[in-house]
Amino acid sequence: MTNANGAAGTVDAGATGVEATTGVPESNGYETIAVDRPRPRVALITLNRPKALNALNLRVMGEVIAAAAELDRDPSVGAIVLTGSAKAFAAGADIKEMQPKSFSDVYAADWFAGWDALTRVRTPLIAAVAGYALGGGCELAMMCDVLLAADTAKFGQPEITLGVIPGMGGSQRLTRAVGKAKAMDLCLTGRMMDADEAERAGLVSRIVPAADLLDEALAVAGKIAAVSAPAAVMVTEAVDRAFETTLTEGILFERRLFHSTFATADQKEGMAAFVEKRPPVFRNV
């Protein structure tokens, strides 16, 4: 939704979340996103439809998925930050694109299914959310491994106000993140919750001042990118598995992954560095 009522808004084209970056653009072939390498082993994807509050149309989906997949294949990238503008991370799906569609159209095209590809990206994804993250924007943020919020962030699933329901996983991921009671409240009323409420509910990991959001997200990404890449992939898989299986099966899955780390050179280096009281130098193998 492009705002809580589904209507598109307008935002200053200069009010983006990327002014502070110093990296050189990775590619100028995208129309709705920008891709940068602001720090070693860290990539930044910025949604760039400011006049539409970064509404998620099919082109945005295709470009985000393509960029994330390309970065995921690059061994020099250890973490990816996904952000939007100061006014909106993404205010939802593009209603103008969807409004004329019929049931046959959306069912045959399996509308929104393409976003599932983002959940198959194994490089850790960090969402840096300022302003509105509504409908598909909230769902997109929840697809990421870590969710950081500016103190200006507002989250919600307002699809009910348009006569529809979430379609990118909102009813499922939101319930897993904040519990049934609050998820039902948000999905049935279409109301927004601010950053403080989102943190209390467990949707976001931390809140930072809006002016510091990108720097904080890049710092978090830098820390993640500095650890062993195989271990980072394994820990995201282990945490995600907790929502898809029983406790007994999840613990066994975790233990087998733990055992697997002993087949890596990084485990040898990490433990040797600890014993020798020096920083580890991981080779991501």
What is the structure's pLDDT at 201? Answer: 97
- Mean pLDDT of the 1-20 span: 35
CA gap 61, 39 in Å, rounded: 25
Q: β-strands 42-47, 88-90: how paired?
A: unpaired
Q: Under DSSP, is residue 56 helix (H, G, I), strand (E, B) or coil? A: strand
* pLDDT, tens only, 45-89: 999 999 999 999 999 999 999 999 999 999 999 999 999 999 999
What is the structure's pLDDT at 144? Answer: 98
Token pair recorded at residue 145: 């491994």
DSSP letter at 23?
P
Comparing 98-107, 133-142, 187-196, 256-265, the range with the smallest average pLDDT is 98-107
Q: How confident is the prediction for the chain on average, in pLDDT?
A: 90
What is the structure's pLDDT at 29? Answer: 86
Question: How big is the CA angle at 58 (ends 96 and 135), to the nearest 5 degrees?
Answer: 65
Q: Are 36 and 24 in contact (CB under 8 A)?
A: yes
Regarding pTM above 0.85, the answer is: yes
**Helices first, then strands: H and E counts in the chain:** 11, 11
Percent pLDDT > 90 in the chain is: 85
At residue 18 the predicted structure's pLDDT band, cuts being 50, 70 and 90, is very low
What is the structure's pLDDT at 263? Answer: 97
At residue 176 the predicted structure's pLDDT band, cuts being 50, 70 and 90, is very high
Closest CA to 135 of 114, 111, 108, 154: 154
- Mean pLDDT of the 214-236 span: 97
At residue 13 the predicted structure's pLDDT band, cuts being 50, 70 and 90, is very low
CA gap 199, 21 in Å, rounded: 26
Q: Quick check: 109 pLDDT over 50?
A: yes
- Mean pLDDT of the 18-29 span: 45
Active site residue ranges: 93, 136, 139, 159
At residue 27 the predicted structure's pLDDT band, cuts being 50, 70 and 90, is low
What is the structure's pLDDT at 93? Answer: 87
Q: Quick check: 24 pLDDT over 70?
A: no
Q: Quick check: 15 pLDDT over 60?
A: no
- Mean pLDDT of the 95-118 span: 91
State the sign of the Cα–Cα–Cα–Cα dihedral 165, 201, 16, 14: positive
Comparing 19-23, 153-157, 214-218, the range with the smallest average pLDDT is 19-23
**Which domains occur in the chain, in start order?**
25-226 (3.90.226.10), 229-275 (1.10.12.10)
